[in-house]
A and B are shown apart, each in its own frame.
Chain A
Amino acid sequence: MQEKLVLNFKELAQRYEKEVEKFAQGHRLCAGCGAPIALRHMFMAAYPDDVVISNATGCVEVSTTLYPFTSWRVPYIHSAFENAAATIAGAESMYKSLKRQGKINKEIKFVAVAGDGGTYDIGFQALSGAMERRHNILYICYNNEAYMNTGIQRSSATPFGASTTTAPAGKKVPGKLQPRKDLTAIIVEHRPDYVAQASINNPRDFMTKVRKALDKSGPTFINVLAPCPRGWQHPSEETIEMAQLAVDTCIWPLYEVDEGYRWKVNYIPKEKKPVKEWLEKQGRFKHLFSPKYEGLIEEIQKYVDREWEILLKKAEIFS
């Protein structure tokens, strides 16, 4: 049995409060954006480690590094959209080399931060390569389920039925016709040291996962759901609620896979809510409630139920 990691959140919060916030206020992300919530929690969990960040092009990058300002009080590099993983791998390799040569002796952690587009799609190859080469890095995907920075285009993380600007709901087409790709599971198949799905509504769970990941000495990956009020079309103040509903309906289960094979579901709702409750709160699914597209919500429910069942089975078998 492995030791259970228990973060003392009260103590952590008290200590962190005295620190200068690593992710500075004054950035230009939208009010109610889920991404900065994840980032602040990440830094809190990483405290007091020194981290170097590589960030892919996307909402976070454009909104936090507008020259001559920066929100990052840690070393930070943005190079391009599809290469956050390769860039951090390069920095980590230099660190390894200099450490081996005795030219540096500090302990430093390496973290890549990218959106779902920069992770599931265009950055997928670089991510896969970095995982396979077993760099000592943590890759965090803040997942808002579309290319938000360029104006809400569909990505392979966009769920079935969501309306986006490149898969809009119209008279004939009910938004995106394909279910999203299960990237978390694909990363598990790379057998990194640690993989997890998290959501910003549950900071305790997310922060514990970040800590666990940073304590490993190989590749780790966390996919954190970070709703986007603009793209999902919900009021800014309901961001956390959207994330909460996603886990309560089990469309976004919280789970982790340790050492490549130990599956654990971290949150099993007392009462699994119908997915409809999540869908109806978001403008991007509005069309699914019109008579024209009757039956699709049931389809989505079936899909969610099946995926949830598979996950529980996996966790039961490989625990």
Chain B
Amino acid sequence: MQKFDAFTGNLAVATAMKQVNPDVCAAYPITPSTDIMMIFSDFVANGEVNTELVTVESEHSAMSACIGAALAGGRVMTATSSAGLAYMWELLGVASGLRCSMIMTCVNRALSAPLNIHCDHSDAMGARDTGWIQIFSENAQEAYDNIIQAVRITEHRDVRLPVMVCLDGFIISHSYEKMQYMEDKDVKDFIGEFKPYRSLLNVDKPETFGAMVLPNYYMEFKRQVREGMENARQVILEIGKEFGDKFGRYYSYFEEYMLEDAEVVFVVMSSAAGTVKHVVNNLRKRGVKAGVLKPRVFRPFPHVEASRVLRNAKFICVLDRAETFGGEGGPLYLEIKSALQTDKNNVPVVSRIFGLGQRDFLPIHVENLYEEIEAFFKTGKIKMFDYVNVRE
């Protein structure tokens, strides 16, 4: 049985956390993720969870405590945003390198300077190469569902890598929407019991975690992280299917929206996908074969599969809510462009940066983009890289 109710993104995440009932949570307040831990603290205060809540003095300590707790053999969760994630950065590679199973919600927010508390993806993109699985959510429903699936992914024997579930700051984290949620028992059954692979608390079989490793062995450790990441591909698909079979909402690497015969394809992640889909609907009414590819899993990136679904595209516009300053385009653009190479597909693909610091990204901006593309079909000319809705 599932029920409907109104949830903000943060409430959805906190609710999923409550149902997962982690053994330890360590977190530090930062807008817009603070809410999650505030709501969760109430669950702790009212004895609704078994969680030991560690109200650390910084995000650096939050991630450090999560690592210590995860290796002590239990379920661990945290949440952060922006500067908080940046402050954890040193430990992100420690968490993956030590093969910690844990889940972090990243409520996406811009990085300073200038200071801005609003949404963009520069925080998560700064962590894209740290060995964390990264899953992006379009709305509260997806955030909720992703957290629950993440438990199975991070704890899978063949994966054992930390998972970051991302949702857009304010746009999703603080807006109410109708969402379907499961009963506690069904979540419990889906995630199962936690079985630690190794544990610091196993005093009868002591192990050294985090040894000093010189050039003679270091690279094998990193190769194993890549193996975990590669294994995650199949695991993510299986769990997405199992979740769908149980709860009716199916998940894979990405959502294909009117993609089958699409000639103009927008590639975009998270909440902005909703805006783009809306415009695509209108374009379709006008007879334009437009579609949307909405990646959900950014790490590991599904190159082969993305390339396959883009095979018929005549033009691709990749929308990034993060910069690479000096790179050819945004981070998602770079992935898509290299994905196309797996098929030697030379379809024109452009990079557009939008919504930094939560600059408005409205249907009109997508319509303008389509006009640019339409002009390109006539003139053959278009800017390879540009910002959307920005002052000169």
Contacts and interface: CB of A to CB of B under 8 A. Distances in A.
Contact of B206 (A61, A62, A68, A75): A75
A79 B57 contact: no
A91 B55 CA distance: 14
Interface stretch (A92-100, A113-121, A159-167, A222-230): A92-100
Contact of B208 (A76, A82, A100, A133): A76
Closest 8 CB pairs of A and B: A90-B68, A129-B57, A90-B65, A86-B64, A94-B72, A86-B61, A83-B64, A78-B210
A97 B217 contact: no
Given A93-B24, A94-B52, A129-B57, A66 B68 contact: no
B203 interface: yes
A74 interface: yes
Contact of B24 (A65, A67, A90, A104): A90
Contacts of A52: 72, 200-201, 203
B209 interface: yes
A47 interface: no
Interface string B18-46: 00000110100000000000000000000
B211 A65 contact: yes
Interface stretch (B90-98, B296-304, B319-327): B90-98
B51 interface: yes
B235 interface: no
Given A76-B210, A87-B67, 14 more contacts: A54-B68, A65-B208, A75-B201, A75-B209, A79-B98, A83-B61, A89-B61, A89-B65, A95-B201, A96-B52, A97-B52, A98-B73, A106-B201, A126-B60
Interface of B: 23-24, 26, 50-52, 54-58, 60-62, 64-74, 76, 90-91, 94, 98, 199-203, 206-214, 217
B52 A80 contact: no
Contacts of A150: none
Contact of A79 (B72, B94, B203): B94
A220 to B, nearest CB: 18
A31 interface: no
A94 B74 contact: yes
Contact of B54 (A54, A67, A79, A89): A89
Most A CB atoms within 10 A — which of B68, B199, B207, B214? B68
Contacts of B211: 65-68, 70, 78
Contacts of B66: 90
A101 interface: yes
B51 A97 contact: yes
B55 A133 contact: yes
A19 interface: no
B99 to A, nearest CB: 13
Contacts of A75: 199-203, 206-207, 209
19 contacts: A66-B214, A67-B211, A68-B211, A77-B68, A77-B71, A78-B210, A78-B211, A79-B64, A86-B61, A89-B54, A89-B56, A90-B68, A91-B72, A91-B201, A93-B65, A95-B201, A97-B50, A98-B72, A133-B54
Contact of A94 (B69, B90, B213): B69
Interface residues of A, number: 49
Contact of B26 (A72, A90, A98, A128): A90
Interface in A104-142: 104, 106, 108, 125-126, 128-130, 132-133
Given A67-B213, A93-B69, A95-B201, A72 B208 contact: yes
A215 interface: no
A182 interface: no
B73 A94 contact: yes
A50 interface: yes
B50 A86 contact: no
A83 B69 contact: no
A91 B50 contact: no
A319 to B, nearest CB: 32
A148 B107 CA distance: 40
Contact of B64 (A50, A74, A104, A126): A126
B293 to A, nearest CB: 38
A128 B72 CA distance: 22
Contacts of B91: 79-80, 83
Contacts of B57: 125-126, 128-129, 132
A101 B193 CA distance: 13
A144 to B, nearest CB: 19
B64 A106 contact: no
B50 A94 contact: no
B139 to A, nearest CB: 32
B206 A72 contact: yes
A313 interface: no
A66 B214 CA distance: 8
A61 B211 CA distance: 8
